[in-house]
Amino acid sequence: MTRRIMWATALVALAAGCATAPRKDYAKLYAAQPRSILVVPVVNKSVNVDAPDYFLSTVPIPVAERGYYVFPVNLVKRVLEDDGLADAGLVHGADATRLAAMFGADSVLYIAIERWDAKYVVVATQVTVEFSYVLKDGRTGDVGPDRAEDRQDWVPAAGAEPAPSLVAPAVAPAALDAKTPAASPR
Amino acid sequence: MRARSLQALLIGGALLLGSGCVRQGTYHWGRYDDTLYRHYKKPAEREAFVEGLRTTILEADEQGLRVPPGICAEYGYALYEEGRLPEAISFFQRERTQWPESQVLMDKMIRNAELRAGKKAGPPALAPAAATGAAGALEQSLEKNGRQKKTLENKRLEKKP
């Protein structure tokens, strides 16, 4: 019974997430046709210390499923940390073209969490996350029009059990619509 | 083979279009996002994350599914951290073969692993001119990380009864 309710809430959250995904004009980036995306660690402006890592873990799947090569986020994070860039703010402040050259990436995706609210209810916790993101061209450092913002609600099943993949789909369709060619698996 | 992967892409694309967003599409992810999150939340759950990566690759191979981008690299890095360098190199190579987009990074990781393995005689290989600063620092820091990992491993071993 509880299980069924959890499924229902998860489905509602999923549907809502898909419905609210915004569309942005990324004409310049489409022209550059990035095939690979370096997702750098997430900047945290919320009071929840876990939020950035939590969010980071949700990003690779939806982005890769849209046909991009997504650099291994954990490896990238560790390598940056070892390179003295443990602070996500420092990474976001670094030159995008230099970061891209370091990893051989076509583009760099920066995400910042603006707000992170968790409401505890009987069967599940509802989390509302507001975040902004920007995708930069790895060769020129060019950006889409502006920093894009988004807001999403989702319900991690059973409170402690996260359903992280429900969060980031909002990032993926907005920044990366299916216009660019897929990455090339061999 | 080419036709098959094209077909898979088309099917994946159709699924994406049809449903707006799907949990599983083109690739076999296993529990990647879940275990990664848990690993961040509790660093002690690193083993579950690494084991999850291994399982994902094994399952994909057994069932003829596609290993997602980055997974072999993540697993290779975990092996690298554990000092299992030849295995690490083979997974970095697999990532590079499957995803040419990863070549720059995988070349660096492989070189680092080779250096650490001490197999190479003579001075360390020079980084490409364009990225000398970053790459140099990258290599040094990776070395440092290897040492830290060892200490961690030892501590973990000590704790075992």
pLDDT digits (tens, 9 = 90+) for A57-79: 888 888 888 888 999 999 999 99
Q: Does A102 touch chain B (CB under 8 A)?
A: yes
SS3 A138: coil
Q: Does B70 touch chain A (CB under 8 A)?
A: yes
> Which residues in chain B are closer than 8 Å to A57, comparing Cβ atoms?
33-34, 36-37, 40
Mean residue pLDDT across chain A: 71
> Which residues in chain A are closer than 8 Å to B23, comparing Cβ atoms?
61, 165
Contacts of A131 (CB under 8 A, 6+ apart): A42, A55, A111, A112, A113, A114, A149, A150, A151, A152, A171
| Length, in residues, of chain B | 161
Instruction: Judge: A57–B33 Cβ closer than 8 Å, yes or no.
Output: yes
Q: Does B97 touch chain A (CB under 8 A)?
A: yes
Q: Which of B16, B33, B77 to mutate to test the interface with A (most CBs of A within 10 A)?
A: B33
* Amino acid letter, A174: A
The secondary element (H helix, E strand) that includes residue A93 is helix A88-93
Closest to A79 (Cβ–Cβ): which among B26, B103, B138? Answer: B138
d(CA A78, CA A58): 17
- Searching chain B, which residue's CA lies closest to the CA of residue A55? B37
- Terminal CA-to-CA distance of chain B, rounded, Å? 51
Instruction: Judge: B5–A185 Cβ closer than 8 Å, yes or no.
Output: yes
The secondary element (H helix, E strand) that includes residue A154 is strand A148-154
Closest to B74 (Cβ–Cβ): which among A66, A75, A164? Answer: A75
Supply the pLDDT for residue A16: 39
Instruction: Report DSSP state, residue A105.
Output: -
Q: Is the ipTM of this complex over 0.90?
A: no
Supply the pLDDT for residue A100: 95
Place of tokens 């990647």: B32
Burial of B18 (0-12, 13-18, 19+ CB in 10 A): exposed
Q: Does A33 touch chain B (CB under 8 A)?
A: no
Supply the pLDDT for residue B150: 46
SS3 A148: strand
The helix/strand count (H/E) of chain A reads as 8, 6
- Terminal CA-to-CA distance of chain A, rounded, Å? 45
Looking at the complex, report in whole angstroms how far the Cα of residue A120 sits from the nearest Cα belonging to chain B.
19
pLDDT digits (tens, 9 = 90+) for B96-124: 999 999 999 999 999 999 999 986 444 44
Burial of B148 (0-12, 13-18, 19+ CB in 10 A): exposed
DSSP string, chain B: -HHHHHHHHHHHHHHHHHHS--SS-SS--TTHHHHHHHHHH-GGGHHHHHHHHHHHHHHHHHHTPPPPTTHHHHHHHHHHHTT-HHHHHHHHHHHHHH-GGGHHHHHHHHHHHHHHHT---SSPPPPPGGGHHHHHHHHHHHHHHHHHHHHHHHHHHHH--
| Choice between A89 and B150, residue whose per-residue pLDDT is larger | A89
pLDDT band at A114 (very low <50, low <70, confident <90, very high): confident
Instruction: Judge: B141–A14 Cβ closer than 8 Å, yes or no.
Output: no
pLDDT digits (tens, 9 = 90+) for A34-43: 889 999 999 9
Q: Which of A7, A36, A42, A102 to mutate to test the interface with B (most CBs of B within 10 A)?
A: A102
Instruction: Judge: A82–B66 Cβ closer than 8 Å, yes or no.
Output: no
Looking at the complex, report in whole angstroms how far the Cα of residue B160 sits from the nearest Cα belonging to chain A.
26
> With DSSP H G I counted as helix, E B as strand and the rest as coil, what are the percentages for chain A, rounded to 5?
40, 25, 40
Supply the pLDDT for residue A144: 55
- Searching chain B, which residue's CA lies closest to the CA of residue A64? B69
Q: Does A72 touch chain B (CB under 8 A)?
A: yes
β-pair partners for A69: A36
> Which residues in chain B are closer than 8 Å to A71, comparing Cβ atoms?
70, 73, 102, 105
Q: Does B16 touch chain A (CB under 8 A)?
A: yes
Burial of A152 (0-12, 13-18, 19+ CB in 10 A): buried
Averaged over successive runs of 10 residues, the pLDDT of chain B (161 residues) comes to 48 41 72 88 89 96 95 97 96 97 97 86 44 47 50 47 42
Give mean pLDDT, residues A26-45: 79
- Four-point Cα dihedral A29, A31, A33, A37, nearest 10: -10
Maximum alpha-carbon separation in chain B: 57
Q: Does A14 touch chain B (CB under 8 A)?
A: yes
Q: Does B60 touch chain A (CB under 8 A)?
A: no
Q: Which of A97, A83, A39, A87 is nearest to B134 (CA)?
A: A83
d(CA A53, CA B128): 31
pLDDT digits (tens, 9 = 90+) for A122-181: 666 677 778 888 888 888 887 754 455 555 555 443 333 344 444 455 455 445 543 343
Rg (CA), chain A: 17
